[in-house]
Structure 1
């Protein structure tokens, strides 16, 4: 039944491979269950009670929204991608909207809800699909490489291998730190497992690193509280007062466009990059079932806002599951099942330290480099935009910004070198949109 529904044989995969891939994806993104509630509740910030959201309720909303979005991806789009509330967007929700603009969290949730509705409409009318198909092949290849650099950077940052520095921005972390040494040991172990073609190498590497971290104090054994926090404090909490003033409407448009822009190009970049690496693009260079995949993102965002969490997006950590062989919706179905279990067994999942997920992220970064060999480095109107795409993702900590710089470089170089006919109408429209974004947002 599974083989027929998910077309496992057609995609040259098995139930075992898909399940292992789903577990791997979940373990690399399970951190969101802890991080998202911390950010949206303002953990560590000296704020009056009620300024931000209830931490326990956000945990429940995070898990349920991840289940809903990933199930749509699994059962309808039948692609191996997982969804959850996105990093970066949750920080903008709190620091950009609630604190900097002095808006209520209900106002921010309303913006997320409207974004989800707009995305549904854009998907129904194929607007997002047209944008994906308009991105040049060289930039599509560069997106995969850029995502590889980006997630490797995330893994090194989260484990302390790379730290911030006031003078040089980044710096090598404390090489005597148990966390750093554990992460480096995990990279070495997982690398050996990959080199010797051990099945499930990424997952085994994470499990082994987590276990080794117990006696050295990096992996913290949890307090076992299996109760599920109530979602009622944040469920269906929207604010429509902004409709009564011109200032309120302008503020909503600004916030809405920012959510819309970042989410759209993060999702587009992830779908293109991971699909390119997995050789899932069809002969026309298009992602199979892309419209359904984009609808999963739209539904996840809309339902996430109703439940009480920031924008739900397709996770770049899905690349870890794809690297383990995941090719169908069964991978995503497994990940969705684990997010559901996490509602009741959260202490077990949240004990996995960043040092244990770092090896998977770093080595998936290596795997994502493959499409660089497809770049035409001799044609500077292709190679320069590709370079900007791949280098700006880790440097700006944003997939979306990498795509922006790549598209702008592509359009300007083609235009001013007399090869303007090689750029599609949609390409020119995107360039204009990106310029307006820099001016007004």
Structure 2
């Protein structure tokens, strides 16, 4: 063995290796195939795939104007007010720091406490809803920026309550298996759409008038936001992204070259930084000059000045609007984060097929929930788990070390923001497409034999990319499943079992009575009188009988009753 293999073995056998359950650590739940250097490489891959969020989130959220006050009643007229636009630019710089800081904190905590290779950051889609609907362009929306941040702060603590009660985990586990598999596939296609667009990809597609999308690839969009027919497929940055960030990366992956994704992203970025070239990320325009001036600083720290802790706690005059913003943030975030966490957990092989849960799910949800509230204090829209974590998982990330490395990289980016905020979207676009193709493999495990399972799964897959929303895809798939299968159940009962689908035996079984119960394991241990109820019991991992599960649930509902046998409740096996 070389020094890398020797180091991997030594770290795996150390307390660090056992804590993170590296392969060879001797932990009963060690993650097979995981090792220290692979986790580092995976964490860097996740970071580089997510680095665009530093600049993209700041650009989107600052369009709300932040705490800047527009002197005109028309938001559009504020664009010509130099003082106001300088204030908006300051908010933009604040958000660069805030985005990197909250991504660093939450990703590090996810890895350290939940031991999952999943990074977090302010959510794409959620930030657009925050900026353009809740606060509105230059403050023309439902509530002021300060009130919107209050809604986000409260939402985070509601998540904490739902998680401690076990309802958030149970809701996710109660989703039918085909829908959960379809969620991973739909997120893969959602990633592909992102990778193909202009905002965070190679710019190969754009919206259209006669069709939802059309082929793009032009250097500039016209006044309607479309490509002129004569200019399509002529953008050199798109071709650089395709060949250097896509084809080159895939070839390296075919030959199993370690760090292929990182190499592709770095190659495209380095090609795009010099000016003037046809593929430069810093054209000679006012915006390009400003970006290049920021890039040349290399190392700098911009403190958060205008948006730190600006919540407005008296929301009485915005009661209805505040409630609407709060409820929307709540249901979109719970579905978005739930779908992402479970698809990423399945992608890295952490799902327990018996309980349909993953190790540390309660802690993972708590990290996400507290991250939402802390992020709002930084002035950021809601934080959520990122589907770009699939980039690190595809590099071999299996433990929390992946997320910790991503968090540390985000922390470093606070001081190197000019560099990390200058990774062009066409450098990461093909990475998202590649990860999407890997996630789409789950489609083969969907129950296509029974149309009552197949159609809801397909609806989930289709709606996610076509509506640009993970949450809407889950809603559509679950509602389709409920309507179809409830109708079959009612017809069967009304006909006394005479009218049933011919191949109903092919349907996947579903029940709300899930292994592990509704309540989280710590409540079961607390009800049994275990003093250190936050720790798992030292017992072998295996299939637990229905009787044990029943006793565990009974202990929660009736804590005054004791379990007669010496067997321990099923819930105590779960983390």
1:280 matched residue in structure 2: 350
Q: Is the 8 A contact 2:189 2:436 kept in 1?
A: yes
Q: Is the 8 A contact 2:300 2:418 kept in 1?
A: no
**Residue 231 of structure 2 is aligned to residue 178 of structure 1:** no
Deviations 1:87-109 (A, max 9, x none): 11111112111125342100100
Please, what is the CA RMSD of the aligned residues?
2.2
For the residue of structure 1 that corresponds to 2:299, the secondary structure is coil
* Counterpart-to-counterpart distance in 1, 2:423 and 2:142: 35
Shift of 1:278: 2.2
Q: Is the 8 A contact 1:13 1:325 kept in 2?
A: yes
- Within the candidate set 73, 90, 104, 2:110 is matched to 73
1:134 matched residue in structure 2: 174
Q: Which moved more, 1:307-316 or 1:41-50?
A: 41-50
* Counterpart-to-counterpart distance in 1, 2:323 and 2:88: 22
Task: Give the number of equivalent residue pairs.
Answer: 424
- Within the candidate set 436, 440, 453, 1:369 is matched to 440
Deviations 1:364-415 (A, max 9, x none): 0110011111112120110001001111100010111110011001111111
* Counterpart-to-counterpart distance in 1, 2:90 and 2:135: 11
2:249 matched residue in structure 1: 190
Q: Which moved more, 1:184-193 or 1:96-105?
A: 96-105
Q: Is the 8 A contact 2:143 2:322 kept in 1?
A: no
Q: Is the 8 A contact 1:414 1:423 kept in 2?
A: no
Q: Is the 8 A contact 1:107 1:238 kept in 2?
A: yes
Deviations 1:252-287 (A, max 9, x none): 111001001111111111111122222221132222
1:33 matched residue in structure 2: 54
2:155 matched residue in structure 1: 115
Deviations 1:268-309 (A, max 9, x none): 111111222222211322222111111111011010011211
Q: Is the 8 A contact 1:178 1:216 kept in 2?
A: yes
Shift of 1:426: 9.6
**Residue 263 of structure 2 is aligned to residue 204 of structure 1:** yes
TM-score of the pair, normalised by structure 2: 0.71
Q: Is the 8 A contact 2:142 2:321 kept in 1?
A: no
1:96 matched residue in structure 2: 133
1:162 matched residue in structure 2: 205
2:389 matched residue in structure 1: 318
For the residue of structure 2 that corresponds to 1:241, the secondary structure is coil
- Within the candidate set 87, 102, 106, 2:146 is matched to 106
1:430 matched residue in structure 2: none
> Would the alpha carbon gap of residues 57 and 211 (structure 1) be closer, same or farther in structure 2, given more than 3 Å must change?
closer
Q: Is the 8 A contact 2:271 2:279 kept in 1?
A: no
1:408 matched residue in structure 2: 479
* Counterpart-to-counterpart distance in 2, 1:51 and 1:118: 31
Shift of 1:169: 1.9
1:20 matched residue in structure 2: 41
* Counterpart-to-counterpart distance in 2, 1:52 and 1:102: 23
For the residue of structure 1 that corresponds to 2:353, the secondary structure is coil
Q: Which moved more, 1:229-238 or 1:321-330?
A: 229-238
**Residue 362 of structure 2 is aligned to residue 301 of structure 1:** no
* Counterpart-to-counterpart distance in 1, 2:195 and 2:96: 23
Q: Is the 8 A contact 2:344 2:390 kept in 1?
A: yes
1:433 matched residue in structure 2: none
1:334 matched residue in structure 2: 405
For the residue of structure 2 that corresponds to 1:176, the secondary structure is coil
For the residue of structure 2 that corresponds to 1:377, the secondary structure is coil
1:223 matched residue in structure 2: 296
Deviations 1:3-34 (A, max 9, x none): 12211112121111111111111111111111
* Counterpart-to-counterpart distance in 1, 2:419 and 2:399: 27
**Residue 100 of structure 2 is aligned to residue 63 of structure 1:** yes
For the residue of structure 1 that corresponds to 2:315, the secondary structure is helix
Deviations 1:330-376 (A, max 9, x none): 00000000111101111221222111101211100110011111112
1:439 matched residue in structure 2: none
* Counterpart-to-counterpart distance in 1, 2:280 and 2:329: 35
Any stretches of 5+ residues in structure 1 without a counterpart? Answer: 428-441
User: Higher relative contact order at CA 8 Å, sep ≥6: structure 1 or structure 2?
Assistant: 1
2:305 matched residue in structure 1: 232
* Counterpart-to-counterpart distance in 2, 1:217 and 1:391: 34
For the residue of structure 2 that corresponds to 1:203, the secondary structure is helix
1:431 matched residue in structure 2: none
Q: Is the 8 A contact 1:23 1:338 kept in 2?
A: yes
Shift of 1:423: 5.5
Structure with larger Rg: 2
Deviations 1:177-201 (A, max 9, x none): 1111112112111111111111122
For the residue of structure 1 that corresponds to 2:358, the secondary structure is coil
> Would the alpha carbon gap of residues 426 and 229 (structure 1) be closer, same or farther in structure 2, given more than 3 Å must change?
farther
Q: Is the 8 A contact 1:53 1:234 kept in 2?
A: no
Q: Is the 8 A contact 2:99 2:380 kept in 1?
A: yes
* Counterpart-to-counterpart distance in 2, 1:394 and 1:228: 37
TM-score of the pair, normalised by structure 1: 0.91
